[in-house]
A = this chain, B = another copy of it.
């Protein structure tokens, strides 16, 4: 018998700075994926929900939800990057640079841009720059992610530490390329669900998105498989029952999408996620948890050359099993407050 052909994933010592990973499997995103995304999270942004609305303002048809694009691209990286991950540590420098429409095929490539072994020598942090492309080879999404990965052998020599320089936030001048020139006069605020344009928001403004959604095992499993994300911790109760949490963990992207869908109530016209400045999965989420969310406007930015749209930098916080009426974030000593599960820093685009 030959050595087995099944893959167990890369370990920390398998990565080298400059290494390029072309990820399997290319994936056509079609009408069915959009419907499942809607059924799983319940987003209501008019541009993504309605071909007629999107066409009226200048899109050829309704674009695919930005976060569905993110999850599909992210999902491809799991087999190569994070089968042996301990934790997904953060995101930065994310940009959605081209719209994706049903029928487009997404693939992903990552380049290792940083490595640092942990002092316990049992694991290390891998930084990658991932690019998602459509069937024409055009970039649709770029982002940086870092993840803590186990070593195969604690005694393996460590690579020289190399940490990438990461911007605190995406420059607004680099945003908005995924949005065509909008016919603003045909953007129907009543149909979109709220009267608030870009100019109606103020830095420092906080919004409780009010509603909560309780997660079921079947829901997060269906979502995560839809993205062809194969991380074991989300699917295998038999194995997880012996693990730290005794149960399956919800893919962090599910929490991101729930929080984004909830944010419609207060940010109904923030129809496009243009950038991911930073993001952290603060605590795990499990089936049975109820996810709430709130937002804070951190900054307002005009986009060069664009009179139709403007950008809001928004902190989007997800909290489990507690209302967000008091905007929970930090506890006394500065650590995250109990219940906070996601702290995301996004650029959102709204009509002006």
Contacts and interface: CB of A to CB of B under 8 A. Distances in A.
A236 B211 contact: yes
A7 B237 CA distance: 39
Contacts of A201: 5
Given A24-B193, A25-B44, A230 B211 contact: yes
A239 B210 CA distance: 11
A62 interface: yes
A25 B45 contact: yes
A210 B6 contact: yes
Interface in A185-243: 190-194, 196, 200-202, 204-214, 216-219, 221-223, 225-226, 228, 230, 232, 235-239
A107 B40 CA distance: 21
A213 to B, nearest CB: 5
B217 A216 contact: yes
B2 A210 contact: no
Interface residues of A, number: 86
A4 B228 contact: no
Given A31-B30, A237-B288, A24 B105 contact: no
A61 to B, nearest CB: 8
Contacts of A24: 44, 46, 190-194, 268
Nearest to A107: B191
A138 interface: no
A225 B38 contact: yes
Given A1-B205, A235-B211, A35 B38 contact: no
B35 A205 contact: no
A346 B208 CA distance: 42
| Oligomer: number of copies | 3
A191 B27 contact: no
Contacts of A31: 30-32, 35, 102
A251 interface: no
B53 A26 contact: yes
B266 A5 contact: yes
A40 B39 CA distance: 11
A79 interface: yes
Contacts of A4: 207-208, 266
A144 to B, nearest CB: 22
A72 to B, nearest CB: 10
Contacts of A216: 216-218, 221
24 contacts: A1-B202, A5-B267, A6-B209, A6-B210, A6-B265, A22-B190, A22-B191, A24-B44, A24-B193, A26-B52, A26-B53, A27-B50, A28-B49, A31-B102, A32-B33, A42-B228, A42-B230, A51-B105, A52-B105, A213-B221, A214-B235, A218-B219, A218-B222, A237-B290
Given A4-B208, A26-B46, A107-B191, 15 more contacts: A5-B196, A22-B190, A28-B52, A28-B62, A31-B31, A38-B226, A39-B222, A44-B230, A50-B107, A212-B235, A213-B221, A216-B216, A216-B218, A230-B265, A236-B290
8 tightest A-B CB contacts, nearest first: A32-B35, A24-B193, A42-B225, A238-B290, A218-B218, A32-B32, A26-B50, A6-B266
